Chain A
Amino acid sequence: MTATAPRGTGAVSPGHGNGMPAPRRATIAERTLRTDRWWLQPLVTVVVLVLFIAYSTFRAFQNAHYFAEPYISPFYSPCLTTACEGDTFPELFTGPSWISPAIYILVVPLGFRLTCYYYRKAYYRSFWLSPPACAVGEPHRRYTGETRLPLLGQNVHRYAFYAGLVFNVILSYDAVLSFRDETGAWGHMGLGTLVLLANAALLWLYSLSCHSCRHIVGGRLNSFSRHPLRYKFWMVVSRLNANHMKFAWISLFGVAFADFYVLLLATGTINDLRFF
């Protein structure tokens, strides 16, 4: 008979009595026993994101064909240097001519998307394979997640969100300006106007559906009943937030398409379809 064990420890005993060796996991050699095509989704994500990155990098460094009166590509707005085509934004400084004006600004939308809770999921899974899919073993020996730098920096997402909002305002302004014709007279509308409008709208949907936004407008409160207005905001943002992934992808395509449309116009490949 063994001695009396200590009591009052609050131990919720798992049930293996005393004297047992520390148990180990079941020995299953397979990395996963999933029988479905779990690798498909990360693969698609990688392909699409790589295509986008390749296209946007090419365009950002191209430093040409980003303005076709009255439309400016979202990759180049706000265009801050004196070398900019068009005049949609005050020219603030003169940079070296070999640096494309897109480089100064793209860091903001890039930062917003890079720290976005949805994109984090997408690239951690598909690029970093951490994990490649649920219940599929990841290939890394160690994992510390977002506990240390640089990934600890993901916590700045809300500042990227604020900065992103500034860009949304600017791109909306661009869309408004696209109601002017080549001479600067108001009352114009072409397919490009619609493209810029749609792009701005999608960016707003993507930004406002952001998890940080949801937190800021009301999620941080514990008492909704004492803040009825913020509760209403929170409800609206929550509804958008449920579609955050969808908005993340559509707005990504939207930006690329808007830029591509301007490219086609600027190179004279097509002519803008003009409504009035």
Chain B
Amino acid sequence: MELERHEYDVVVVGAGGAGLRAAIEAHESGARVAVVCKSLLGKAHTVMAEGGIAAAMANLYPEDNWRVHFRDTMRGGTMLNPWRMAQLHAQEAPDRVRELEDWGALFDRTADGLISQRDFGGHRFARLAHVGDRTGLELIRTLQQRTVALGIDVYMECTVTRLLTDDAGITGAFGYWRESGRFIAWEAPSVVLATGGIGKSYKVTSNSWEYTGDGHSLALQAGATLVNMEFVQFHPTGMVWPPSVRGILVTESVRGDGGILKNSAGNRFMFDYIPDFFRKETAESEAEADRWYDDKKNNRRPPELLPRDEVARAINSEVKAGRGTPHGGVFLDIASRRSPEYIRKRLPSMYHQFKELAEVDITSEPMEVGPTCHYVMGGVEVDPDNAAARVPGLFAAGEVAGGMHGSNRLGGNSLSDLLVFGRRAGLAAAEHALKRMGRVELADDALADAGRAALAPFEREGGENPYTVQHDLQQTMHDLVGIIRTAPEMEQALARIAALKERVANLSVEGHRQYNPGWHLALDLPHMLIVSECIARAALERQESRGGHTRDDFPASDAEWAKTNLICTPTGDGGVAVRHQPLPQMPPELAEIFEETA
């Protein structure tokens, strides 16, 4: 077998915010670092982030500090977050934002010349450092340019298909160049997973093709565990039409700036979906809701601004009840409520997005929107302080790491998560590599096996087309493990996933190894399947509704479940087992925070 080999201290898989931040830190800690990414450098899904980076810098509100941010994050995640992660995140985020400026980032400014911060759902104070509505692009470009300036090696358009291990932990990784299909292996005592999420297992998603859950799956195969996999965030407003852009995000700011949701009968239906828990802080009448935009003191919030999961569920119910739009969404109307000038000024990128992609002028007609799979709260179970997974030498940061956001993530916390835990993972990975004495060895039989597995789809003839299998999986997850879940549907999903696994084992692809997207998809599908199985199994197990997990058959939250995380572990036959794990106990000095500001 022809194989290109390299030797590093740290291999970072993924070149989004977390991966690049990890690589920078590992490099600065003296390690030899390689970054491996499936796309070109700078194209990672981080570019899609719009809102900003949550950090209690107190540039606008001096009363903001890490304790308030910590509290907001924990409450947003319904206290299911490991407290230590949330604490580190809140404490370190401001420094992580500031250092971006040393690397060339240009955030919007306050009148004093400091980094400006914006309001967002769930954050008590205006806290999101931002650049217009393209903060993710600024973040990725800044880190990309820093990575290049430091001279870190980047393997672009290169996919990792296996992590290699020995008795003492990680020894390296195996993959292929997308361009040539040739194999490549890295010897490295530390691997940082920063591969992002799993959204491509769903039919309607705001995620890109890269989000096939590679990191989740690689970690499981290497013997690590996944946590909180049942929690998948559906953003209430994604585009639904035209089909080509179905799932693309419509920012929360549309509703914040006056947009309302209507069904096909023209009713402002959100008033019918106010849960008791939020009734006290939500407007009772349209008149009161409309007054809120100008007078927030004497009026309560419009129900359109309820938490993401509530709004997503309400839209889902309207569509299911047959009151949806022709394309299966609901109307998001700002045109009839605000002047065209106002809309163009406040929502330039939304105006542009609908104009370019849907030929809809949002200043004169309503948008059609529906829920879209946005983010997975679950991921690799890691040590909060050093991002280490349960396999020595394996680290995870960013969306692929689990826990940090509990059952539901607040907007703006993902970018800060990337930076804080990306850095910690890079630091710990470098330390681990420098501590591990001698050279790690890659076993020849493991390499040969990885190569055989990667080429298997070419060996088979007359098998199924990978695109069909992917389509069926997305349909299954969309229909049966979507926003609203029931036990029979999830059992059906698991049966279908088992059948899909067999189909994947018999796929065949046409053509040759050189830049062959059919082959690439065939190799991604096993990852997508195992991640889907984790989600379905954990979701079936958790018999309550909480955050990003809603059970029609268990609609209430349960105090016992509030103390439990679900952990997915690999079984010998390539399947997944789920076990319960009690939450870590929060120390009293942190528990106090929830009393003092409640």
- Are B8 and A2 in contact (CB-based, < 8 A)? no
Contacting residues, chain A, for B182 (C-beta < 8 A):
17, 19
Bound CA–CA A8/B10 (angstroms) = 12
Contact of B5 among A2, A9, A14, A16 (CB under 8 A): A2
Q: How far is the CA of A1 from the CA of B178 in the complex (A)?
A: 19
Taking A1-B3, A16-B177, A17-B184 as given, write out 4 further A-B residue pairs in contact, using a Cβ cutoff of 8 Å, ordered by the A residue number. Answer: A1-B5, A10-B152, A12-B41, A16-B180
Q: Which residues of A contact B5 (CB under 8 A)?
A: 1-4
A77 to chain B, nearest CB (A): 46
Q: How far is the CA of A19 from the CA of B182 in the complex (A)?
A: 10
CB-based closest 10 A-B pairs: A10-B151, A15-B157, A17-B182, A15-B179, A12-B154, A17-B180, A17-B177, A16-B179, A15-B156, A1-B3
User: Is the C-beta of B150 less than 8 angstroms from some C-beta in chain A?
Assistant: yes
In the complex, A17 Cα to B6 Cα: how many Å?
Answer: 12
CB neighbours of B153 from chain A (8 A): 7-13
- B156 touching A13 by the CB < 8 A rule? yes
Q: Are B156 and A10 in contact (CB under 8 A)?
A: no
| B 445-476 to A, binary, CB cutoff 8 A, 1 in contact else 0 | 00000000000000000000000000000000
A149 at the interface (CB under 8 A from B): no
In the complex, what distance in Å separates the CA atom of A11 from the CA atom of B6? 13
* A27 is an interface residue with CB less than 8 A from chain B: no
Report how many residues on chain A are interfacial, defined by Cβ distance under 8 Å.
19
The chain A residue sitting closest to B447, CB to CB, is A1
| Distance of A24 from chain B, by nearest CB (Å) | 14
Quick one: closest A residue to B39, CB to CB?
Answer: A15
CB neighbours (8 Å) of A4 from chain B are 5-7
Chain B CB within 8 A of A20 CB:
yes
- CB < 8 Å neighbour of B154 from A3, A13, A18, A19: A13
Task: Tell me the residues in window 6-25 of chain B with beta carbons closer than 8 Å to chain A beta carbons.
Answer: 6-8
**Are A14 and B179 touching (Cβ within 8 A)?**
yes
For residue A5, CB closer than 8 A to chain B, the reply is yes
Assembly CA distance A8 to B150 (angstroms): 9
- Specify which chain A residues have a CB less than 8 angstroms from the CB of B177 in the assembled complex: 15-17
On whether A14 and B148 interact (CB within 8 A), knowing A1-B5, A4-B5, A20-B180, the answer reads no
* A6 CB to nearest B CB, Å: 9
- Can you list 23 residue pairs at the A/B interface with Cβ under 8 Å? A1-B2, A1-B3, A1-B5, A2-B2, A3-B5, A7-B7, A9-B151, A13-B153, A13-B156, A13-B158, A14-B156, A15-B156, A15-B157, A15-B179, A15-B180, A16-B177, A16-B179, A16-B180, A17-B4, A17-B177, A17-B179, A17-B180, A19-B182
Q: B32 within 8 Å of A by Cβ? A: yes
CB-based nearest B residue for A5:
B6
Residue B292 interfacial (CB < 8 Å): no
Closest Cβ of chain B to A95, distance in Å, is 58
Chain A residues whose CB sits within 8 angstroms of the CB of B184 once the complex forms: 17
Cβ-defined contact, A7 with B8, below 8 A: yes
> What residue of chain A has the Cβ atom nearest to residue B515's Cβ?
A15
The answer for the CA separation of A178 and B5 in the assembled complex, in Å, is 84
A4 to B34, CA, bound (A): 14
The answer to whether A14 touches B7, judged by C-beta atoms less than 8 angstroms apart, is no
Which residue, of A7, A11, A17, A20, has the highest number of chain B Cβ atoms within 10 A?
A: A17
Which residues of chain B have C-beta atoms less than 8 A from A5's C-beta? 4, 6
In this assembly, does B554 line the interface, its C-beta being within 8 Å of a C-beta of chain A? no
Answer yes or no: B594 CB below 8 A from chain A CBs. Answer: no
Q: How far is the CB of A247 from chain B (nearest CB, A)?
A: 27
Q: How many angstroms from the CA of A3 to the CA of B7 in the assembled complex? A: 10
Complex CA distance for A13 and B41, rounded to whole angstroms: 10
Q: How far is the CA of A248 from the CA of B76 in the complex (A)?
A: 59
User: CA–CA, A258 to B81, complex, Å?
Assistant: 78
Given contacts A8-B32, A12-B154, contact A2 B3 (CB under 8 A): yes
Q: Which residue of B lies closest to A2 (CB)?
A: B4
Which residue of chain A has the shortest Cβ distance to B178 in the bound complex?
A15
B158 A8 Cβ-Cβ under 8 A: no
CB distance from B556 to the nearest CB of A (A): 51
Do residues A13 and B155 form an inter-chain contact, with CB atoms below 8 A? Answer: yes
Q: Which residue of A lies closest to B7 (CB)?
A: A4
List, in ascending order, chain A residues with CB within 8 A of B32's CB.
7-8
Q: Bound state CA distance, A9 and B150, in angstroms?
A: 10
* In contact, A18 and B4 (Cβ under 8 angstroms): yes
A19 to B181, CA, bound (A): 13
> Could you mark each residue 17-44 of chain A with 1 if its beta carbon is under 8 Å from any beta carbon of chain B, else 0?
1111000000000000000000000000
Tell which of B7, B158, B177 has the most Cβ of chain A within 10 Å: B177
Residues of B near A20 (CB, < 8 A) are 180
How far, in Å, is A224 (CB) from chain B's closest CB? Answer: 12
Report how far A77 CA is from B253 CA in the complex, Å.
60
Q: How far is the CA of A9 from the CA of B155 in the complex (A)?
A: 12
A13 to B151, CA, bound (A): 12
Minimum CB–CB distance for A96 against chain B, Å:
61
**A1: B residues at CB distance < 8 A:** 2-3, 5
Bound CA–CA A8/B155 (angstroms): 12
Complex formed: what's the CA distance from A16 to B3 in Å? 13
